[in-house]
Amino acid sequence: MSNDEIFAAAYREHYWAVSRYVARRLDGRAGEVEEVVAEVFTVAWRRRADLPDTPLPWLYGVARNCLANAVRGHGRRRRLVDRLGNDDTAHGRHIAAGPEADTPGGWVHEALARLSPADQEVLRLAAWEELGVDEIAVALGCGSRAASMRLHRARRRLRAEIDRMRPVPALTEHPRVTVPKEHGHG
């Protein structure tokens, strides 16, 4: 297959996964999602000769940079950086907050939002994009060992935040919410 054909196949296969990646970080603002995804594939097209055999993590890497630059280049830096990092609505705090919530969404988002943007991103890639360590390394443009360490540390920090937000008495009062277990990291 030519580079163009390989690109077209990757586009068809991963268009919606890339759209979800962007939407998760733009709080579902449909108009902007489409624009950013278009930019992601435009960049990917120009670099189609570099497209790896497993293109999705690489596309996530391109998307990550497009998002960051969409923020910078359009004077929406503060607003969107907040969305990427700490904004309330971006992380579902408007949906549910506190240990009494029926679903863990709200407070898990809040725990996530307390971490650094780098920690947040590696965790999102692992949990929401369901990438393995090697794939995370591709998406972040780092080595596998570094990705593994970053994920390890980010998990530990997320765990600490969750523990902080989920005091034991609250858990016993609200047994529907899953309790994080003690476990090793890898």
Which of 90, 82, 69 has its CA nearest to residue 27? 90
Interface residues with other proteins (CB under 8 A) are 4, 7-8, 11-12, 15-17, 19-20, 23-24, 27-28, 33-36, 38-39, 41-43, 45-47, 50, 58, 61-62, 65-66, 69-70, 72-75, 77-78, 92, 103-106, 108-109, 112, 115-116, 119, 123-124, 126-128, 130, 141, 143, 155, 157-160, 162, 178-181, 183
- Least separation, in Å, of the C-beta of 34 and other proteins? 7
- Least separation, in Å, of the C-beta of 167 and other proteins? 16
Dihedral of CA 158/160/165/169: which sign?
positive
Q: Between 2 and 169, name the residue whose CB sits nearer to other proteins.
A: 2
- Least separation, in Å, of the C-beta of 124 and other proteins? 8
AA letter at 81 = V
What is the H or E stretch that residue 79 is in? helix 77-85
- Least separation, in Å, of the C-beta of 152 and other proteins? 11
Q: Between 169 and 186, name the residue whose CB sits nearer to other proteins.
A: 186
